[in-house]
Structure 1
């Protein structure tokens, strides 16, 4: 049986590189946004980073275990089907995959004691599913790189 995502991605020797690559993915996804909604995302993201520098990689690291838990069933199915790459696989299940990932950030936002962060998240959340769906191919590539590497 193939190793679980948890065993591969959360390994102490690999975790830092996973967080770094996911942070790079988030930065790239935000940078590629355009139009009015893209401007709102860029402004919100910039504000979030100003509230607390380093907050994005710190948040990724804190939520990584939960994200991996949410992605594990997708990885298990993908591993048995073994067709194409994981990013493409996630892209064939955009609603299900994005909702699974957003469940993690929603729970975190609900528990946050920082009003500024909660406010910014609340403003960005309505477009979040669309943004997560757009990021699924890149997310899948990062996950597969570390899960197979």
Structure 2
């Protein structure tokens, strides 16, 4: 059986993984409400102005790191039930691992608009990622358990 990392980075599956993760991001942004929702939606619009395909490119670039930090969760999960529910049960820990990846990437970008947009999102990043864990886990499990 493949590891989570091997499954997500498999060249035959990777484009579909990235596409599904873009859908997760889009769904999460769409579902945001209130003042924090406006902040998220505005930041995402700014990011998309820099490049309409930047979300997919960023996910693809960070996917190896995302897979690496999620691998220990996958191993602990051991295929018992729904990985999204499992991740949600370890919400802060899983979210901190994922946000750590994006923090490192944001620090190294030379694109000021992206740094600014990320800075606007960062204060609520842990909460936003925690909310996305059920959807994220479903995508991860889909590829980790397929052929």
Does 1:68 find its partner at 2:67?
Answer: yes
1:92 aligns with 2:89: yes
Distance 1:13 1:72 in 2: 20
Unaligned stretches of 5+ in structure 1? none
> Equivalent residue of 1:98, what SS?
helix
Matching of residue 127 in structure 1 with residue 111 in structure 2: no
Shift of 1:3: 2.1
Q: Pairwise mapping of residues 9-48 of structure 1 onto structure 2 (< 5 A)?
A: 9-48=8-47
CA contact (8 A) 2:84 2:137 kept: yes
What displacement does 1:20 show? 0.3
Q: Hey, what's the Cα distance between the residues in 2 that align with 1:119 and 1:8?
A: 33
CA distance in 1, matches of 2:124, 2:47: 16
Gaps of 5+ in 2: none
**Structure 2 Cα separation of the partners of residues 92 and 7 of structure 1:** 24
* Aligned equivalent of 2:143, options 140, 143, 146: 146
The Cα RMSD (Å) is: 0.8
Shift of 1:84: 2.0
Q: 4+ residue runs of structure 1 moved beyond 6 angstroms?
A: none
Partner residue, 1:116: 113
CA distance in 2, matches of 1:67, 1:83: 21
TM-superposed deviation, 1:52: 1.2
Count of residue pairs the alignment pairs up: 146
